[in-house]
Amino acid sequence: MKRKIIPYDPTLKEKARQLRNKSTVTEIMLWKRLKGKQMSGFDFHRQKPLSKYIVDFFCNELMLAIEIDGMSHSGQEKYDKKRQQELENLGIRFLRFESDDVFFNLGKVLDEIESWIRVNSN
């Protein structure tokens, strides 16, 4: 399958690096289960610049962004909705999880991601 290249603002590269270095506990927990093609053999990246935004996790092959909504998203709902809409217009699909769900129910979150992949990866 041909990978779609999504151009991004090059100034986001350093910001993405900083975000990777300051990952939250729940981002680290989920990343440990996504990295190295552990999730159904698909390659995920974390803090990935896309267009003029950065998403928590991204799989190019699936065109799937995974977002963890924690305290930093409080009061950001309008911005998050606009951002998600703009990225969806580029063909990116989203899975969103609450930070508490990742922390307390990681198995359930992983099952949801695997189920989404099974349904959408053909």
pLDDT at 71 (0 to 100): 72
By CB atoms closer than 10 A (0-12, 13-18, 19+), residue 48 is buried
Domains of the chain: 12-120 (3.40.960.10)
- pLDDT tens digits for 13-41? 999 999 999 999 999 999 999 999 999 99
pLDDT at 2 (0 to 100): 58
Whole-model pTM? 0.92
- pLDDT tens digits for 72-117? 656 778 888 999 999 999 999 999 999 999 999 999 999 999 999 9
pLDDT at 103 (0 to 100): 97
pLDDT at 4 (0 to 100): 80
Q: d(Cα 88, Cα 63) in Å, to the nearest integer?
A: 9
User: Which residue shows structure tokens 């552990």?
Assistant: 38
Q: What is the 3-state secondary structure (H, E, C) of 39-54?
A: ECCECCEEEEEEECEE
| pLDDT-wise least confident of 1-5, 41-45, 47-51, 106-110 | 1-5
